[in-house]
Structure 1
């Protein structure tokens, strides 16, 4: 009897302890936001959330292999990836972020203007100097130096790369046909670095450099970044408002998996994206307890409700009301072996 009671107590303690710790891995895009969110969540809920910023590609791999409670990704997984997973995976957006062309051009003090075609030509290696006539034509009155352009890009599997290449493919048939869209690409030119912070580091230390990074990384590193012409023909400088408008120019499907680049909204910043958490609908797998499943559901619910207060101070747009409602509906379908949580 005593042995049975002891075993029962041990199981209860183990279950409770497991519920106090969750693990995630993936995108560096939302890492500054998640660091703040999870620190605040621990204060209020007592749950420790360990999130590793390893890139969207790695996050998708880890959730597919069921080695983490959730993945972070700036691009949704494909239908093929979802079919190959051992269970039904769900996507919930937590924020909207902007990918900006950050640069280091000595002597240039005002934001440069870019089009999608010019950005594609730079990353195709067709535009090689800052005073190229195609850049100069977009920036009359700006004295651009004859400085070689040093292209910086990601070396790891990256959702930021997916978002940037998704936009370039919509702007340039040559990019679409030669390079395409993906987390990892065969780059025509450039120096690779790991994470948004790695690309920002190259740009910051290299005169003549240009790199695509999430807005907060440009701001944290005090990097100038350019405005980008949107579908309406307006040059938009990235900020929370224009990033949020991107989601108002597309139809958001029930599963929320959608591209926000080149939004039809006239005020939208054109290189914007949701960042997602990805997790299994049925949480009963790999020895997980019901307490762990409930802890994950509570965390996700908080992230799309009360946790949204941390988005804007860190240069991420909040979820629009209609998107937050869809997110809560998706989270509500979580179950544990068929039992609703």
Structure 2
């Protein structure tokens, strides 16, 4: 199925929002990374409870701004806030689901999973140091793949993005040049390429632009039959993006070691680990102005933890481990003032 235009994607999101909002809606905004699973959960939750979810898929930066402005009940971000930021803003943070960021390409003759890249090569492509698909670095990783001599068209996020934060975090970990010249942030000064808004926008641009490369959450690549690449991980093993390789990267995470469960999963060790695995977080006020609204939001998230695992796996997301869910729900009871407590 051809990826819908960005305008159509926005229209679909708007239609989803309007339909959901007709019930006693829960309002949220932020990361595009988890939008496919949040939409799927919302549909199932509404059928079961009659309560809808009004979620604006606008990027992590927008979600953080909206929750800090108290215009939504919850914010969603793939770039966790620091402990100091959480404390100063009066926010609680918890992880909702995990997934993987994947390079996606549109190169004639190359099939999904046929091309292999590694971190340093990806960094050089996005810095403009590698400009042709038949560059020696790419050929060395793909001796049996016929590579065209066409120029590489780079597509990146134009908005403040947690996907970008995790992507640039990984590139900083594997490339000293990237770390010193570009760095890790939700929005960076891109050396080359064109910008697009949201995972949807990047996916749409890569689908339409020949000889292009971008990065998206894997659900977008899978749902729209995009050509993703394999990656060489920290242990030197070539891996495919799957829920199993995402779970492998997350398997040794110490979620309580960082305030707000803010563990970054990029570049984890392990033969089977996908190198660009990431979590996505929810932000709510510890002392919300409307405790009843926050209580409804937490009911939805509790339902998703309990009932949403299979739906998440169908989209190649990874559910949070039971032990983490237990710790999160303890935090809710201790730290968040709602109509329930």
Asked if Structure 1 and Structure 2 have the same fold, meaning a TM-score greater than 0.5 normalized by the shorter chain, the answer is yes
Structure 1 residue 282 displacement after superposition:
2.1
Question: 127, 132, 146: which is aligned to 1:124?
Answer: 127
Aligned to 1:311: 312
1:34 pairs with 2:38: yes
Q: Distance in 2 between matches of 1:330 and 1:244?
A: 24
**Alpha-carbon distance between aligned partners in 2 of 1:293 and 1:32, rounded to the nearest angstrom:** 22
Cα deviations by residue, 1:20-58 (Å, 9 ceiling, x for unpaired)? 321000001111111111111112222221000000000
SS of alignment partner, residue 308 of structure 2: helix
Say if 2:92 and 2:336, in contact at 8 Å, map to a contact too: no
How many angstroms apart in 2 are the aligned matches of 1:66 and 1:224? 39
Within a 5 Å distance, the mapping from 1:4-83 to structure 2 comes to 20-83=24-87
**Do structure 1's residue 330 and structure 2's residue 331 form an aligned pair?**
yes
Distance 1:66 1:280 in 2: 9
Aligned counterpart, 1:301: 302
Q: Deviations over 1:152-205 (max 9, x none)?
A: 000001111011001000000110111100111100001000010110111111
> SS state of the match for residue 305, structure 1?
helix
1:251 paired residue number: 254
Q: Distance in 2 between matches of 1:315 and 1:100?
A: 12
What residue is the counterpart of 1:172 in the other structure?
175
**In structure 1, how many angstroms separate the alpha carbons of the residues matched to 2:114 and 2:94?**
34
Change (3 A) 1:211 1:276: same
Distance apart, 1:223 and its partner CA: 1.1
Distance 2:235 2:158 in 1: 33
Are 1:262 and 2:267 counterparts? yes
Moved beyond 4 Å, runs of 4+: none
Cα contact 1:26–1:56 (8 A) shared by 2:
yes
Contact 2:86–2:92 (8 Å) recurs in 1: no
Q: Which runs of 5+ in 1 are unaligned?
A: 1-16
The 5 Å alignment of 1:166-315 reads 166-253=169-256, 255-283=260-288, 285=289, 288=290, 290-315=291-316
Name the stretch that deviates more: 199-208 or 17-26: 17-26
Alpha-carbon distance between aligned partners in 2 of 1:301 and 1:95, rounded to the nearest angstrom? 12
Alignment length, in residue pairs? 318
Cα distance in structure 2, aligned partners of 1:138 and 1:291: 55
CA distance in 2, matches of 1:75, 1:265: 23
- Contact 2:124-2:130 at 8 Å conserved across structures: yes
- Structure 2: gaps of 5 or more residues: 1-20
Separation in 1, partners of 2:335, 2:248: 30
Contact 2:243–2:313 under 8 Å retained in 1? yes
**Which has the higher Rg, Structure 1 or Structure 2?**
1
* Mapped partners of 1:118, 1:185: distance in 2: 19
Structure 2: how far apart are the matches of 1:127 and 1:305? 46
TM-score of the superposition, structure 1-length normalised?
0.89
Alignment RMSD (CA, Å): 1.9
Q: Distance in 1 between matches of 2:285 and 2:330?
A: 15
* 1:19 Cα deviation after fit: 9.8
